[in-house]
């Protein structure tokens, strides 16, 4: 299975994917920022890189058109958003329907959008976490593929909560991509997804489904 990863910054989730020994070919890592540190990490892992600076295009539609052309040149089976800080057009999202995934630092459908850790603390929730989901035109509303939950501690700050959630992101993103590569992801008629062959839940975190 061929994969293209889109990044904008440090690429920590991308690194987790590249180091997970997945049964896939990483065809290219594309960034909209030439200074993205993740490009160096990708190159160090032998993955081709490409920069498409969104500022070089007249508008979002023009950038997305160029991005689609670059992605399609690699004929990927799956496109992964790994800290890609761009709002994608509906046309882009629909072009990659059912093969475009993202990871969000909250237990969707709770806390879509930005500032998730601050909002979780302000809301007094007892569990927080992250979600791997398919991308749809509605931001952070696509079918959920996997989630991992952690307890919110009494002395948590947005920074400490973010750090612990990020550990779980690095855990479940490769897990979800492996399921996709193994052909275990199945779509229901109602548009939700499930993973075939789930095993017992792990003890380190509340991961659902568990590998």
Query: From the candidates 45, 74, 95, 104, which is the catalytic residue?
Result: 104
CB distance 111 to 141 below 8 Å: no
Sign of CA dihedral 89, 9, 24, 206: negative
Q: How far, in Å, CA of 105 to CA of 115, rounded?
A: 9
Q: Which helix (H) or strand (E) holds 165?
A: helix 158-181
Name 58's Cβ contacts closer than 8 Å, sequence gap at least 6.
none
Cis peptide before 209 (omega within 30 of 0): yes
DSSP annotation of 191? S
Q: How far, in Å, CA of 35 to CA of 195, rounded?
A: 37
Our answer to whether residue 104 is catalytic in this structure is yes
Q: How far, in Å, CA of 83 to CA of 104, rounded?
A: 9
Active-site residue list: 104
């Amino acid at each position: 299975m061929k994969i293209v990863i889109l990044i904008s910054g440090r690429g920590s989730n991308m690194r987790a994917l590249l180091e997970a020994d997945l049964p896939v070919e990483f065809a290219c890592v594309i960034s909209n920022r030439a200074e993205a540190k993740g490009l160096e990490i990708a190159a160090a892992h032998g993955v081709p890189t490409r920069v498409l600076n969104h500022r070089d295009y007249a508008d979002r539609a023009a950038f997305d058109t160029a991005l689609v052309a670059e992605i399609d040149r690699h004929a990927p089976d799956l496109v992964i958003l790994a800290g890609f800080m761009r709002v994608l057009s509906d046309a882009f999202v629909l072009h990659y329907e059912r093969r475009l995934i993202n990871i969000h630092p909250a237990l969707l459908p709770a806390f879509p959008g930005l500032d998730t850790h601050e909002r979780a603390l302000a809301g007094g929730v007892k569990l927080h976490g992250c979600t791997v989901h398919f991308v749809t035109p509605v931001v952070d509303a696509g079918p959920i593929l996997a989630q991992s939950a952690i307890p919110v501690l009494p002395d948590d700050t947005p920074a400490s909560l973010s750090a612990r959630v990020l550990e779980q992101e690095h855990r479940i993103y490769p897990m979800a991509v492996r399921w996709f590569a193994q052909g275990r992801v199945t779509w229901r008629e109602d548009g939700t997804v499930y993973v075939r062959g789930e095993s017992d839940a792990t003890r380190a975190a509340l991961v659902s489904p568990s590998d």
